[in-house]
């Protein structure tokens, strides 16, 4: 039985009910990106929808008042999405009874219609208060500003928000408009308060830093479940994992001077959020405890029902791996004579830049370790491309100065993580020269590198976060856009319209 309703209008304030003390367990996820199966890191599998189901069912069996929220970006990232466009994900989310989900930017990657279909099939509300959807028929009646969820007889208001960059980094089309983020969120909070609802949470897809900045300006909010920035909070130091970037929860005072906890759990379901919240008779959040982001490793058994569901969805994907998506008449080798750029690296870099051009990317660099195979002349299949880019890295657009770009290229030569640029960009290198002087004649997008200028550069998240000892990239202070796009998806989307595929403008790395 559904336990949520769309928030009522202001006139309903006379129907307000008295609050009672209540303790709830909040479970949450974000940025799942269709990672229905576990993700391998250093040989260990983390995540999977079947493991999430186990955690959710355990909580509901032992903690009666459970609220389950998702911070958006359920779409895009694996062949499950390519095949089902979110329908496999919504089947799982319905099965485990999610209570609400924020609309993320990647929910628009295939335009409004797949999102509208997802929302119409969901047994939970999709929320975004700052999207103006009145001009989009597929969404205007399926996406809501806020909703009211009843738990243990108590009403909780949930307000949604989507990153204001959505129009630039996804494909919502001309009918989707934006409203002011602060004003729309505060207006939704005010409408809930007018109904006598005091326990008001945000479920957002705007980013960790943006959540903190927004909360400081808001009245009436008591808790935030976030997403978008893929931020690990309170995570352990495990092999291959990034360092935690903050406390779980992170506490910020709202405009009323009240402490508001903010939570987020990295990405892909590798971590699952869990926290206990205690509310008093006035509906105020008085205490939180048992705050523990759960590492979703092999110690958590997979729920048999969900595992069976996943197996059924997987059958056509297994067939898809052998499906041809293009061809190459020349073949694309992994290596190149003289240690310069390889044809396969050229194509991957071009695919990365093409996938992020709408985000302003001027150049992409692929690290040598990101190219795991080659293509013989003939047809190209999904399975072959998966073997070439098997890690599921995401694309990150960094704002880098010319000095940082030069330093990163230099660093790559010294550590073995050499960088191949996309077409239109190039450099020369001489390994016989001392460190700091091995790189010369750098060109970005056809122009000589300006050391003082800032460029938008696409990289794999592995490299952008310091992989292959790329400390210059890790320490860069410019803006970082976590696109959530998977390297494999970018390559697939590039191969299809460029068949027969060949390396364009080769010899981008001139070895002296």
DSSP code for 64: S
Q: Are residues 228 and 185 in the same domain?
A: yes
**SS3 (DSSP) at 346:** helix
Domain boundary among 249, 284, 315: 315
Q: Are residues 278 and 342 in the same domain?
A: no
pLDDT of residue 17: 60
Q: Are residues 306 and 411 in the same domain?
A: no
Q: Omega into 283 within 30° of 0, i.e. cis?
A: no
Q: Are residues 138 and 163 in the same domain?
A: yes
Q: Are residues 327 and 191 in the same domain?
A: no
Look up the domain containing 135 and give its range: 4-315
Domain boundary among 276, 294, 315: 315
Q: Are residues 127 and 174 in the same domain?
A: yes
CA distances from 264 to 106, 204, 219, 272 (A): 17, 10, 21, 9
Instruction: Compute the Cα dihedral for 201, 203, 206, 211 and give only its sign.
Output: positive
Q: Are residues 366 and 495 in the same domain?
A: yes
**SS3 (DSSP) at 56:** helix
Q: Are residues 303 and 333 in the same domain?
A: no
Give the pLDDT means over successive 10-residue stretches in the chain (512 positions).
60 56 98 92 92 98 95 89 93 98 93 97 98 96 97 97 87 94 98 97 97 98 96 94 95 98 96 98 96 97 98 90 91 75 94 96 92 89 86 90 96 82 95 90 96 97 87 94 90 96 90 84
The domain that contains 496 carries what CATH number? 3.90.780.10
Q: Are residues 365 and 410 in the same domain?
A: yes
Domain boundary among 280, 296, 315: 315
Q: In whole angstroms, give the CA distance from residue 50 to residue 306.
A: 5
Q: Are residues 268 and 331 in the same domain?
A: no
Map 154-207 to HEC letters. EEEEEEEEECCCHHHHCCCCCCCEECCHHHHHHHHHHHHHHCCCCCEEEEEECC
The domain that contains 107 carries what CATH number? 3.60.21.10
pLDDT of residue 15: 47
Structure tokens at 256: 């009323």
pLDDT of residue 110: 85
Nearest to 358 by CA among 228, 107, 131, 166: 166
Nearest to 50 by CA among 33, 37, 41, 62: 37
Which positions ≥6 away from 434 have C-beta within 8 Å? none
Q: Are residues 331 and 283 in the same domain?
A: no
**SS3 (DSSP) at 134:** coil
Structure tokens at 164: 């204001």
pLDDT of residue 94: 98
pLDDT of residue 6: 76
Q: Are residues 366 and 265 in the same domain?
A: no
CB 246 within 8 A of CB 210: no
pLDDT of residue 14: 38
- Per the structure, how many domains does the chain have? 2
Q: In whole angstroms, give the CA distance from residue 254 to residue 480.
A: 26
Q: pTM for this one?
A: 0.77
Q: Omega into 19 within 30° of 0, i.e. cis?
A: no
Nearest to 68 by CA among 4, 163, 162: 4
């Amino acid at each position: 039985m559904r336990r949520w309703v769309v928030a009522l209008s202001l006139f309903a304030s006379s129907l307000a009910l008295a609050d009672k003390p209540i303790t709830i367990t909040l479970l949450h996820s974000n940025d799942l990106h269709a990672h229905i199966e576990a993700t391998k890191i250093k040989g260990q599998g983390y995540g999977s929808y079947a493991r999430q189901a186990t955690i959710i069912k355990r909580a509901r069996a032992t903690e009666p008042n459970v609220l389950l929220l998702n911070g958006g970006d359920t779409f895009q990232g694996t062949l499950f999405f390519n095949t089902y466009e979110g329908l496999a994900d919504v089947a799982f989310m319905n099965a485990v009874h999610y209570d609400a989900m924020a609309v993320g930017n990647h929910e628009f990657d295939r335009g409004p219609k797949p999102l509208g279909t997802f929302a119409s099939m969901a047994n939970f509300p999709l929320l975004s208060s700052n999207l103006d959807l009145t001009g989009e028929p597929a969404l205007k009646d399926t996406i809501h500003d806020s909703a009211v969820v009843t738990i243990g007889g108590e009403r909780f208001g949930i307000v949604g928000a989507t990153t204001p960059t959505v129009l630039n980094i996804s494909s919502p089309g001309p009918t989707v408009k934006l409203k002011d983020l602060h004003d729309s969120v505060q207006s939704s909070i005010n409408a809930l308060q007018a109904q006598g609802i005091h326990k008001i949470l945000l479920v957002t897809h705007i980013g960790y830093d943006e959540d903190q900045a927004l909360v400081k300006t808001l009245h009436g909010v008591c808790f935030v479940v976030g997403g978008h920035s893929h931020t690990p909070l309170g995570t352990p130091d495990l092999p291959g994992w990034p360092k935690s970037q903050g406390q779980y929860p992170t506490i910020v005072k709202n405009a009323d001077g009240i402490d508001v906890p903010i939570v987020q759990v990295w990405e892909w379901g590798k971590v699952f959020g869990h926290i206990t919240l205690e509310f008093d008779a006035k509906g105020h959040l008085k205490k939180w405890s048992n705050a523990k982001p759960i590492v979703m490793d092999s110690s958590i058994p997979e729920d048999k029902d969900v595992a069976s569901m996943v197996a059924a969805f997987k059958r056509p994907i297994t067939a898809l791996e052998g499906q041809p998506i293009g061809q190459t008449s020349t073949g694309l080798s992994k290596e190149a004579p003289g240690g310069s750029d390889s044809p396969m690296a050229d194509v991957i870099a071009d695919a990365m830049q093409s996938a992020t051009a709408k985000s302003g990317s001027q150049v992409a660099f692929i690290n040598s370790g990101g190219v795991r195979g080659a293509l013989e002349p003939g047809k190209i299949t999904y399975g072959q491309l998966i073997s070439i880019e098997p890690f599921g890295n995401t694309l990150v657009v960094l704002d880098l100065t010319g000095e940082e770009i030069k330093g990163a290229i230099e660093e790559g030569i010294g550590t073995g993580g050499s960088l191949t640029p996309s077409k239109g960009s190039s450099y020369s290198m001489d390994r016989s020269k001392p460190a700091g002087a091995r790189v010369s004649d750098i060109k970005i997008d056809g122009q000589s590198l300006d050391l003082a200028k800032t460029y938008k550069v696409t990289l794999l998240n592995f490299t952008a976060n310091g992989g292959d000892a790329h400390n210059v990239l890790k320490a860069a202070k410019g803006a970082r856009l976590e696109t959530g796009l998977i390297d494999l998806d970018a390559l697939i989307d590039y191969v299809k319209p460029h068949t027969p595929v060949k390396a364009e403008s080769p010899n981008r790395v001139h070895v002296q």
